[in-house]
Chains A and B, each alone.
Chain A
Amino acid sequence: MTKNTKNKFLTSNAELIHCVELANKLAKKNGASSAEARLSVDTGISVSVRNGSIETMEYHQDKGMGITVYVGQSKGSATTSDLTDKAIKETVKVATDIARFTADDECAGIAENSDLAWEYPDLDLYHPWKISAEEATDLALECENSALKFDKRIINSEGASVSNHESFHVYGNSHGFLGSYPSSSQSLSCSVIAKSKDVMQRDYWYTATRDPAMMEAAKSVGKKAAKRTIERLDSQKIPTGKSAVIFSPEMASGLISHFINAIRGGNLYRKSSFLLNTLGEKVFPEWMHIHEQPHIIGSIGSAPYDNEGVKTRSHNIVKDGILESYVLDSYSAKKLDMKTTGNAGGVHNLIVEPGSSSFKKLLKNMDKGLVVTELMGQGVNIVTGDYSRGAAGFWVENGKIQYPVAEITIASNLKDMYRRIVEVGNDVDKRRNTRTPSILIEEMTIAGD
């Protein structure tokens, strides 16, 4: 990417594949009943500028391998960043030693042979960005400049950053499965500060892609960051009470992530979820559909197989408001006496099917209430569904934004919030692994003055 860094991985792909194969072979030799190893290398650069000059230039190169060994039904794991044969041998030994101390667990082990992605698609996730450090700096400067000159109330900057990464991933297990693929990621972000009546506000915008051709233009990113910042000026607190709430697409993505968390195998078998035993039941309104689509070509969230080599596949999670599938890996599936859904490590491209209303139309349909564009804190309890978070956004009356709002909380219970979704917009945020449009909820409690 620059004269100083090689535009290739630290080690050849064949050598990396060898490391994973060696780890599994050595584990077997040490008496393991099964084993798996996951390796990834990543190289990249991030450049940040602030108020018109370079602030930091960081060169990244990370590599690491995690090895999990099962002795009988006992599990041990170890990680190493040293990929010499000697270090791999020691790491396997350490993992095996640990497995001699942990307890027998009848559900423990690698994924079933028949679930593995013996054939997997090329998802076109690797589009290296040929950009020099100087060019990356110029791009960041262009982005920040368009934000700084957007409005004279923009008085300061947190800067703009460009990052460019390339990775290579290898996974293999003792069934003989071996998968590998490269990926790339690029991002450009900008954050600026505006001031009015002695109070400062900041906001940001970003673009993140696997293919640099898909990036939003630098000027546009800067402009949006500035516009969002200006819109927050002169915010008010609002009175405590109940009202309708719209989650902007960026915030709605978090709201849907809590749902996924609650139907994740680990939380279900530990009985740590407010959605226990809800398979086949209505969780959302009957017009809502949520599905997972892991094989979208070139998408941020795409993956050909999951973290244990299991086939990833498109499937419905919510159909007509009814919960059709949990989100399981092999271990939690066994604990629940079910089948894995190919979700070891999480969901890949989760999609909330959009509605027909634009954001503007959604405001009109709400008529009066709150639009939430920022949430703060961790006040979400997955065991009970209790939800209480700091928020900022805009107050809406007569279907139009009236003024910015800050220093309030919104609270309810997730179970009720999901049930009381009135409408979703058509304004999907496609930058994320969880792609959702704006979501309008009938009523939540707002705490303010």
Chain B
Amino acid sequence: MPKQIARKHLLEKSRLNEAALESSLANLMSQKGVDYGDLYFQESRFESWSLEDEIVKSGHFGIKKGVGVRAVSGEKTGFAYSDEISQDAINASIKTVKAISRQGQQQKTKVFVAGSLPLHLYDYIDPVDSLSAAEKIRLLENVDAEARRLDARVSQVMVGLAGVRDVVLVAASDGTLAYDVRPLVRLSVSVIVEVNDRREQGSAGGGARVGYGYFLENERGLEYAREAVRQAIVKLDAVDAPAGSMPVVLGPGWPGVLLHEAIGHGLEGDFNRKGSSAFSGRIGEKVASSDCTVVDDGTLANRRGSLNIDDEGTPTQNTVLIENGILKGYMQDKLNARLMGVESTGNARRESYSHLPMPRMTNTYMLAGKYAPEEIIKSVEKGLYAVNFGGGQVDITSGKFVFSASEAYLIENGKITRPVRGATLIGNGPEVLTKVSMVGNDMKLDDGVGTCGKEGQSIPVGVGQPTLRVDELTVGGTSA
């Protein structure tokens, strides 16, 4: 159970217990004007292995452990941390962060309350120990061999395997005492194919909150190799991408990065509390076509973006962001929820104990619609069909967002014709979903490799969507 594992790794070794946490919080809250405080304990045990030139060249292992202490007073936050878990270190941090507040009411610490039955979205395992070193190496070698076997034009294969187990404990002045044990694994494959002097790259991969055995089931690891090779080979025949505004059909799954960039970030509570988002003050307004319903759901079993509790100890939930085109709500952590007079939606996340939490996404996706994907493609006379993407970025204030297609095709007279070179797509967040005219019935989540960056903090997330038709999006090719 997470409670036992967390107590063992984070408290017992340092001769700490719940009573000590309670008195530490009482100490923190004794400062006038501090109205919330929390302690975040974390131990991260991580490893990675990498293969290139047909051999496993390197392996890496590390442990990162520490405790972060936060004091909140109105809109002010004081934060300090230590990579040593001990009462002395906690006391020193408390003394430092208390200074954030000098005046105001003294608030009481609530006694820890047992929360509702916690979610149990993944097994409390340590993936690092889920296969032997020899088995991990064999897995990497098999993935490499599969990629090379498929096509003689494959000239380089790189395979990476990574696993981490995070053990966390959150104790807060509002009575929260929560534990979690979070496994996460990832396998990625990148290949270079070469014909004469033309080279192209393809990459694929996947991951989840499971053990490494996941990559052996249904030849999943080998499937990633096949997918990477397929993508690279397709690109060998790619012609210049078109430039300009045109209808774009987005494939299912990972292209959901559109939602993450175009609307997800803009609906995070901090930006809306501050009024800096293009979506600020727009709850209840129509921001998408009626066919669009978008949620952020941290409660999907084993998904990369899922969590039993967020990093403030609040259980994650399925939050409706847009329902039938109407903006319904923002994603909140405790600080921003309190300042906006709403409840936390379980979206507080932090990269580690040495970073402050803020409202972040979990798994963000659009629900399925009624159209068959073939119908959607057939509806386009001249446009782009984009099925694979690299990353994206958004300016939440102006609403402008981009995402980069790595595999895309021309649609001509309702038919997919030729592959085109990679191109960036750019649009305006509050507008783009109003231009979605067809939503497919093929909702799919991504394969579990997404990482989101915000204010220098990286966290694992998921995205998903069905096939979509966007009537107008700017495609950044070279063929004007």
Contact = CB atoms under 8 A, between A and B. Distances in A.
Size bracket, chain A contacts: 35 or more
Contacts of B56: 101-103
A77 B79 CA distance: 32
Contacts of B424: 376-377, 379, 388-390, 409, 411
Contacts of B243: 240, 409, 411, 445-447
A148 B320 CA distance: 36
Nearest to B426: A390
Given A57-B77, A379-B404, A447 B244 contact: yes
A95 B59 CA distance: 8
B82 A61 contact: yes
Interface stretch (B63-71, B301-309, B362-370): B63-71
Given A56-B77, A378-B391, A406 B63 contact: no
A163 B27 CA distance: 28
- The secondary-structure label for the interface of chain B is strand
Interface stretch (A165-173, A198-206, A279-287): A198-206
A377 B398 contact: no
Contact of B199 (A61, A81, A271, A410): A271
A449 interface: yes
Tell which of B62, B390, B391, B423 has the most Cβ of chain A within 10 Å. Answer: B62
Interface stretch (A13-21, A47-55, A110-118, A358-366): A47-55
A108 to B, nearest CB: 7
A384 interface: yes
Interface string A31-63: 000000000000000000010011111111111
Interface string A345-384: 0000000000000000000000000000000111101011
A331 to B, nearest CB: 9
A271 B241 contact: no
A55 B75 contact: yes
Contact of A383 (B158, B200, B479): B200
Given A55-B75, A383-B192, A383-B201, A240 B96 contact: no
Contact of A58 (B79, B244, B278): B79
B423 A57 contact: no
B477 A158 contact: no
A228 interface: no
Nearest to B83: A81
A390 B478 contact: no
Contact of A384 (B66, B199, B479): B199
B97 to A, nearest CB: 8
B121 to A, nearest CB: 29
- The secondary-structure label for the interface of chain A is strand
Nearest to A3: B99
Interface string B177-196: 00000000000000010100
B158 A98 contact: no
A4 interface: yes
Contact of A199 (B63, B398, B427): B398
A400 to B, nearest CB: 24
Interface string A385-424: 0101110100000000000001111111100000000000
Given A133-B99, A377-B404, A389-B424, A156 B478 contact: no
A59 B276 CA distance: 26
Contacts of B342: none
B338 to A, nearest CB: 15
A60 B83 contact: no
Contacts of A98: 59-61, 133
Interface in B449-480: 474-480
B133 A242 contact: no
A98 B423 CA distance: 40
13 contacts: A59-B97, A60-B81, A63-B83, A75-B59, A82-B63, A101-B133, A202-B398, A240-B244, A240-B480, A376-B393, A377-B391, A388-B424, A446-B243
